[in-house]
Amino acid sequence: MTQDRITLKRPDDWHLHLRDGAMMEGVLPFSAAHFARAIIMPNLVPPVVTGADAARYRDRILDALPNGASFEPLMTLYLTEDTDPTDVKTAQESGLIKAVKLYPAGATTNSASGVQNFDRVRPVFEMMAEIGLPLCVHGEVTRSDVDIFDREAVFIDEVLEPIRRTTPGLRVVMEHITTAEAVAYASEGGPNLSATITVQHLMLDRNDMLVGGIRPHFYCLPILKRGTHCHALIKAATRGNPRFFLGTDSAPHATDTKENACGCAGCFTAPVAMSCLAEVFDEAGSLDALESFTSLNGPAFYQLPANEDQITLQRGTPIDIPKEIETDAGPVTVFNPGRPLHWRVV
């Protein structure tokens, strides 16, 4: 019998870009509508590098929430080679931050302040291991001699494995994984390792982005990979493995900066994320695993309680996906996977 309705504990988003200012004010309501909490990315300009920065950014997010919205921003710090371990510890002990974010320098949007010399941040890693604070990693090397489709696998071998070997107690989230190699590594990495998976990497492969013309709104980093990798991600997400959970990596850019000769990386998935995920899990015959992926596995790794409130999704006629949302920073194109979405939050 086809299941047409499912009720879940309210989901969380363990990787979210809200930007700042007018853009944040425009996109925040779409995450707050469905998600109870979100790990907020710190790659602003300038980045969120200190506890004081994070406190101010959190206040701006809370001030921008729609009246009556229930949404908790879980703050992170942007790791630089000058990060002070004491400041990180103080921010964590106060309850302000839930993770530190590692961007290899130049890996993605606003990552120029990221890490080049990993030996310089070893004291931060050691302190984080001591206090149990997770490290969220953008897992790509940035060397020009490494093909963009291979950067994740090379990062695991050259960067992540050495970090975990030299700091064995460090808790790590491999964010927005895109390859079968990353699935295998996360699956075998022990209790201190987990991984998030995005909406677009569960729904698309690189053919969707490139065949028949370039589709700039499918361009993201890490970049879409072969279909075989997409299938590996779907299996990881839909089989209930507690090491994998949702991080949408919803990343808004004004439409004209995407439809550009040098377009920005990122997919704005927040308005349709739950519809997309229900479609993927339904197609896989795994709707019973959707709650684990969206609502249970992430809180368990971050050592937080699951949400008590619930949301319900209903299957029916295809939803109308808006082409854009309007913000005072310009229109933002909404992610559209190019196939019908039959599930909606009711």
Give average pLDDT by consecutive 10-residue segment, the chain, 346 residues.
Answer: 88 98 98 98 96 98 96 97 96 98 76 79 97 97 94 95 96 98 97 98 98 97 97 97 98 97 96 98 97 98 98 98 98 98 98
Residue type, 83: T
> pLDDT digit string (tens) for 153-178?
999 999 999 999 999 999 999 999 99
CATH number of residue 180's parent domain:
3.20.20.140
> What is the reported pLDDT for 2?
65
pLDDT at 1: 45
Residue 330 zone, left/alpha/beta (φ > 0; ψ -120 to 50; rest) = left
Q: Are 289 and 240 in contact (CB under 8 A)?
A: yes
218, 224, 226, 229 alpha-carbon torsion, rounded to 10°: -120
Q: Which domain holds residue 101?
A: 5-345
Does residue 249 have an active-site annotation?
Answer: yes
Q: What is the domain count for the chain?
A: 1
* 42/61 Cα distance (integer angstroms): 12
Q: How many CB atoms lie within 10 A of CB 45?
A: 10
Cα(109)–Cα(334) distance, integer angstroms: 18
Kindly name the residue from 63, 249, 282, 288 that is annotated as catalytic: 249
Looking up tokens 């698309």 gives 204
pLDDT digits (tens, 9 = 90+) for 222-243: 999 999 999 999 999 999 999 9
